Amino acid sequence: MKLPGTVAAGIFSRKGLLEEFEGALTEAEAGEMANLCAAVTMSTEMQGRLLGRMADQPGWDACYCWVTWGPDMSIVAIHDSVCLVRGRETSFNRLIKAMTESADSELLKPGKGEPNANIG
């Protein structure tokens, strides 16, 4: 929340539940954002598994992060954390670095030996 352009930040579960939240959204809007983030994350993981099978190359199935942006607002999700930001006011490099450092301090991260274990 300290970085310029950040409107909201939170932690979501794979079930779409809002675990933690801070920012300028209502509780209902934050809950919808948690549902969206869980759905996109799981969809991206499924697509990765399909790509891995089609290419006969393992390692596509771990979804570490995703970003989507619109004309005014963007969503950045890393692991189970999410930030809603004003794209024109945000340095995505700084935001992703801060979120990655925070995610690395969390218990949930790629396992040792996985292709993306050193991502960030």
pLDDT digits (tens, 9 = 90+) for 10-35: 999 989 999 999 999 999 999 999 99
CB neighbours of 71 closer than 8 A, spacing ≥ 6? 87
Considering the domain boundaries, does residue 110 fall inside one?
no
DSSP helix/strand/coil, 41 = helix
Q: Can you give the pLDDT at residue 105?
A: 62
Considering the domain boundaries, does residue 120 fall inside one?
no
Which residue is listed with tokens 């909201």?
8
Residue 1 has pLDDT above 70, yes or no: yes
Considering the domain boundaries, does residue 28 fall inside one?
yes
Residue 26 lies in domain: 6-105
Supply the pTM of this predicted model.
0.78
Considering the domain boundaries, does residue 117 fall inside one?
no
Cα–Cα distance for residue pair 44/1, rounded to 1 Å: 26
DSSP helix/strand/coil, 89 = helix
Provide the token pair at 113.
């030996």
Please state the domain count of the chain.
1
Provide the CATH number for the domain around residue 42: 3.30.450.30
